[in-house]
Amino acid sequence: MNIFRLCGDLSHLLAILLLLVKIWKTRSCAGISGKSQILFAIVYTTRYLDLFTSFVSIYNSVMKIVFLSASYGTLYLMFYKFKPTYDHNHDSFRILYLIVPALVLSFVIVHAYTLMEVLWTYSIYLEAVAIMPQLFMVSRTGEAETITSHYLFALGSYRALYILNWIYRYYTEDFLDLIVIIAGIVQTILYCDFFYLYITKVLKGKRLSLP
Amino acid sequence: GKPKEGKDEL
């Protein structure tokens, strides 16, 4: 554990809880992509199956359980409790275009051919692109609520902080996992356009709207 | 790099 990893995890946690609290408080999931949330639920489920097979630390296990519960809680709010507020007309990204290639890739580029390893790799590839339906939705509606922008910023920062963590770990522990590093870089790049808008608009108190 | 047995990241 290092400071970059810890800040990354906290940023990730903040993002997930921010989204959950926003939906709960406003009793609405307008502007949120249910498809991205489905993808994140698949990501956490396939990655954290190791809760049953390997123990790292109390911290890791608790975080995994929180991520899983918050993710399924978000799906429950979006597709059941506040379903009428779900803006499905604008959530039109075809997620099979992400689910299938990520699955194929996880069989092609993987460290070892075991069920857990392939599922873990799949979760890494899918996470890299899971935000695309949400970014697509923002581009279709041309705007995002401020809380949604904070959510996206925290979620994007998490992987960027993990990149610093991997650099740090490479020098201090000789740790190098190219699958997760390259996927993490792709994931962070997807947010770059959004980061720019966030810094130039939202941080100056303006609403995020596209020209 | 080290082989990464037991993934310790989230």
ipTM for the complex shown = 0.84
> According to the model, what pLDDT value does residue B2 have?
47
Tell me, what amino acid is at A14? L
- The contact set of A with B (CB < 8 A) is 5, 9, 12, 50, 54, 56-57, 60, 63-64, 67, 111, 120, 162, 165, 170, 173-177, 180
Write down the pLDDT at residue B4: 54
Q: Is the pLDDT of residue A118 over 60?
A: yes
Q: pLDDT per residue over A7-48, tens digit each?
A: 999 999 999 999 999 999 999 999 999 999 999 999 999 999
At A104, the amino acid letter reads V
Contact between chains at B2 and A174 (C-beta distance less than 8 A): yes
To probe the interface with B, which of A177, A178, A179 has the most B CB atoms within 10 Å?
Answer: A177
